[in-house]
Amino acid sequence: MTLNQLHQFGMVCVDFYFKVLPIFMLFSRCSQKRSHPVLRLAAAVPALLLYSYLLVQIPQPNSGDIYLFFLFILLFVGLFLFGRFFYDASAYTVLFNILGGYALNQILLLMLNLLRLAIPPLGALHQATVAYYSVELVWFTVTYALCDVLFLRKMTQEPTGQTDRPRLYISLGISLFLIEFNLVRNLEIERGGKIDILCILCIILFYVLILILRSGILLRMQKDRELALREQVWAEKEKSLRLTREAVETINIKYHDLRHIASRIRKGKDVLDLADSLTESLERYEQSYATGSDTLDMILTDMHLRFYQEGISFVCMADGSALGFMPSLDIISLFSNALDNAFEAVTALPREEREIRMTVKKALGALSICVENPCAARPQMVDGIPATTKSDRRFHGFGMRSIRSTVDKYGGTMDIDTENGRFKLMIMIPVPA
């Protein structure tokens, strides 16, 4: 490796991943990591260094800015491949988080440049020195930590592959333009040109625009989620009214049967067979729940008739009092979606194999929810959750995404186990003190 290639390796490749990789991972905190994340990270870091080494072996043309632009594109490709290797997320999600992380990285870098202009000792530091890199290490460590505390930890959702692609493409176009513009500006400065503070401020505004576009995508996602959740609540209410109507109709019919039984008793006829039939037909409406949460009781009572009609064995051990810190909307989001998904899975099985188990309890200061059922085939996972099998994909995979969004809202964790022909959804949510 020549001295110039070594300089490029340190100043562009290693420097790029040192600055951008941590903030990209902070932006990706909502993405599901693939299995063995520590081993994957340990394998990915040397691979990125080797990839960077191979990049600087590319012959450099006369036009330095074109070479550096092409080099930056390949560096982004390496970061994209890392994202796909480390996270169980779609290409759209990885690109979305790369653009957000790079935009914030550039804003902080340009702010550091402004500080160098304002503080002469900082501006006097030469590049590629220990002091120069020490200042950058302290700056990015502190600012990344502040950004994480102030707003990155509050990000409770990530985009899906169906979300507002035009804004993402606009953000990508702006980023590519700013990369080229920055490269040209830096080359002019190296040739003796002056650093234009107004130019730096304009570039910062463009990167802020990228973050605003990103926030707009997430805001639109939140509105879609709220709309779908409201529709789900209305559907639950309509279902409850329908079940009540069916119960009233059945009671009216059985009232007539009771009068018939009374008449036969008066006539001294055998009524055992008719009484057994009447008891069996009323059993479906006999089940009631008293978990300690009225909302959970309503959900379980509504699901009971569906389970009965489809011959599903439902075993439930629920302490609804542990849900006291949650509003009804979030309880509906968790349990209606979880039980609906389990219902759809087991109805594809023979009647003798249809079983759903659910436990809800408070343990060690956390709410523990587990819903388990057999499944006919191992589901296909997309972004860490099962892909929808429904024909209506307007809210693609909304049920599980809604569950994960609600869990993330409370700083909890959601794990899915699909081994041994069973689907197991496990949720842990810290209970507020």
Between 81 and 233, the more confident residue is 81
Quick check: 242 pLDDT over 60? yes
Query: 144 and 23 in contact (C-beta within 8 Å)?
Result: yes
Query: 54 and 71 in contact (C-beta within 8 Å)?
Result: no
Q: Which helix (H) or strand (E) holds 49?
A: helix 37-55
Tens digit of each residue's pLDDT (9 = 90 or more) over 297-318: 888 887 887 888 788 999 999 9
Q: Per-residue pLDDT averaged across 326-352, rounded?
A: 88
pTM for this entry:
0.57
* Residue 22, token pair as written in the block: 């941590």
Per-residue pLDDT, 395:
38
Environment class of 365 (CB within 10 Å of its CB; exposed 0-12, middle 13-18, buried 19+): exposed
Distance separating alpha carbons of residues 47 and 291, to the nearest angstrom: 53
Secondary-structure percent of the chain, ordered helix, strand, coil, rounded to 5: 65, 10, 25
Q: Which of 147-151, 189-193, 216-220, 245-249 has the lowest mean pLDDT?
A: 189-193
- Average model confidence (pLDDT) across the chain: 77
Question: pLDDT-derived band of residue 319, with 50, 70 and 90 as boundaries?
Answer: very high
* Residue 196, token pair as written in the block: 């234009």
Distance separating alpha carbons of residues 289 and 303, to the nearest angstrom: 11
8-state DSSP, 418: -
- CA 80 to chain CA mean position, Å: 18
CATH 3.30.565.10 range(s) for the chain read 291-433
Of 41, 50, 38, 22, which Cα lies nearest the Cα of 82?
41
The residues, any chain, with a CB within 8 Å of residue 321's CB and separated by 6 or more, are: 291, 292, 293, 362
Q: Which helix (H) or strand (E) holds 167?
A: helix 165-190
Question: pLDDT-derived band of residue 83, with 50, 70 and 90 as boundaries?
Answer: very high
Per-residue pLDDT, 129:
75
Distance separating alpha carbons of residues 256 and 405, to the nearest angstrom: 49
Between 213 and 97, the more confident residue is 97
Q: Does domain 291-433 have CATH number 3.30.565.10?
A: yes
Q: Which helix (H) or strand (E) holds 374?
A: strand 366-374
